[in-house]
Structure formats: structure tokens, C-alpha cells
Amino acid sequence: MAVTGKTHLNLWKQQLGHVPAWVWQETAAETLVLADNGLTSIPPEIGGMKNLRMVDLGHNALTEIPGAIGNLLSLRDFLYLHDNKLTALPASIARLTKLKYLNIGGNAFAELPACVLALAALVELRAEGNRLTSLPDGVAALTGLRELHLRNNALTTLPASLGALKELRLLDLRGNPLTSLPECLGTLPRLDKLDLRWVTTLPELEWLNMLRARGCLVYR
């Protein structure tokens, strides 16, 4: 069992099936890794681990996340929820206003959860491999976002409100059935990589040449 000190709990790939009760007693822990353990649920006791800066619940079989996760107000580095069976997130996640990295890829979200739009400190958002057909206009609130990963969803277009993401460096849209893109993407001052590979439904757009001309890598 890989457990490092009292502040770093690494239980990656231990075939746990459920989280041992002793884990919730380690309230001084700053990192908690429970990835790849066949977990089907996380008990609300996780909300008592208020010193956590990073939580990894990826590669499990979770269908929901307890609302108590919103009590982890120190969570600022990473929250990994990827490769589970999630269709929704608790509204309490909106309280994690210091969080910089969120990965909800490889789940079954039909829409981007509203609580994500409240995470104003996000620098990177990964939502690839879901069932997203659109993005809400409220994504404009994520003004500090530098990377937005949306590969392999069902997006046909994007909102013009993405033009508010002035810090965006990377936009990954691979494998979406896009038929149009908002021209405002061409005005994003820091965008240096726009990935449109495996998108076969998008017509040629003149403003993409302007992006290329100023040094942005546009992959088609």
C-alpha cells in the first residue's frame, strides 16, 4: 500500500473497491489519490479533509460525487474526476473558488455543469470524451482559463462568449462535428494552438489564416 507521510495519501491502483475508514481520519492530508480502485461511491466524510489541495478520484466507476466535496475550500491545485460514469456534479463544487485544474473528461456529461462556471480561478479545464452538444454563454466567466480541452464531444458550434477568454492559449476541439466557429476566436490575443484535427464538417474559414499569420498553430 503506497502511503507517503501524513500529508500525502497515495492509494493509487490498490484494488480497494471502497475507501478504508481510516483514510477519513487523516485530516492533515494535503493530497489524496484514490484513482483506479474500482470505487462506485465516495462517502461524505471526504468533506472533513479540509486541508486537501489535490484530490484524484479518476479511473473509477463513480456515478456521483458527494456534496460534501464543496467543504474542501483549500482545494486549489487539482481535482481529477475523469474516467468515471458521472452525468452531473454537486452544486457545492461552485464553492471551490481557488481550484486551478479540473478534469471531468471521460464521463457522460450532456452539458457542462453550471457549478464549473463559478470556478473563477481555473487555469485548465478538461472536459473531453463526454456528450456535450453545446457550451453555455457563462463560460465567459472563466477569464483566467489558459487551456480548454473539448476533444471528442458532440459540439456543432461554440458561443461567441469565448471571446472573453483573453488568457486562453490552447483550445482543443478535435473530433467534434463542428459546422461553424465564432470569429471572435481569431481575436484572442494569447491563443497559440487551435486543434481542429478529425473535424471533417467545418468549412474553410478566412479568419483562421489571420491566426496562422500571427503565429498561432492551427491544426486541421
- Per-residue pLDDT of 126-165, as tens digits, reads 999 999 999 999 999 999 999 999 999 999 999 999 999 9
| Band of pLDDT at residue 196, cut at 50, 70 and 90 | very high
pLDDT in tens, 53-67: 999 999 999 999 999
What pLDDT, on a 0 to 100 scale, did the predictor assign at position 38? 98
pLDDT > 70? residue 3: no
Band (166; pLDDT cuts 50, 70, 90): very high
Identity of the residue numbered 184: C
Residue 110: pLDDT band with limits 50, 70, 90: very high
Single out the residue of 146, 172, 143 nearest to residue 158, CA to CA: 172
The class of domain 133-220 in CATH terms is alpha beta
Q: What is the pLDDT of residue 2?
A: 54
Domain(s) labelled CATH 3.80.10.10 in the chain stretch across 1-108+123-131, 133-220
Topology of domain 1-108+123-131 in CATH is 3.80.10
pTM given for the model: 0.96
> What pLDDT is stored for residue 5 in this prediction?
55
Q: What is the percent of the chain with per-residue pLDDT over 90, rounded to a whole number?
A: 96
Which pLDDT belongs to residue 106? 98
